[in-house]
Structure 1
């Protein structure tokens, strides 16, 4: 039983995977930010280009 508690304590103190998780969280936040920005500015650019095309085509 003592060995089980020692193994559990060692597992709790193990932080080898923490860096990978942190990098994954940072990458996901950056990805969400990029997708949101591209979506927002993409629709605005599309609207601008459509208005410019309509202006150039004339009545």
Structure 2
């Protein structure tokens, strides 16, 4: 029984220490995700921006011709 209590206390202490040390890591992970999403948006707009501009220009020319 004493061994079981010792294991539980050890795990409890380890879990509390682990969760406390991950608070800063969580903020860092979220900031990395936000940066990655922003990078994907910039690359996506850069890649498809010209194609969308051409498509809307052609659409405007077609509608004007009606």
What interval of TM-score do these two structures reach, taking the shorter chain for normalisation?
0.5 to 0.7
Unaligned stretches of 5+ in structure 2?
1-19
1:49 equivalent to 2:47? Answer no
TM-score under structure 2 length normalisation:
0.50
Give, in angstroms, the shift of residue 56 of structure 1: 7.2
Structure with higher helix content: 2
1:52–1:14 distance in 2 versus 1, CA, 3 Å:
closer
Q: Which of the pair has more CA radius of gyration? A: 2
Q: Distance in 2 between matches of 1:35 and 1:16?
A: 29
Unaligned stretches of 5+ in structure 1?
1-12
TM-score under structure 1 length normalisation:
0.54
Structure 1 SS opposite 2:27: helix
1:36 equivalent to 2:39? Answer no
1:26 equivalent to 2:33? Answer yes
Q: How large is the Cα RMSD of the aligned pairs?
A: 2.2
Aligned length: 45
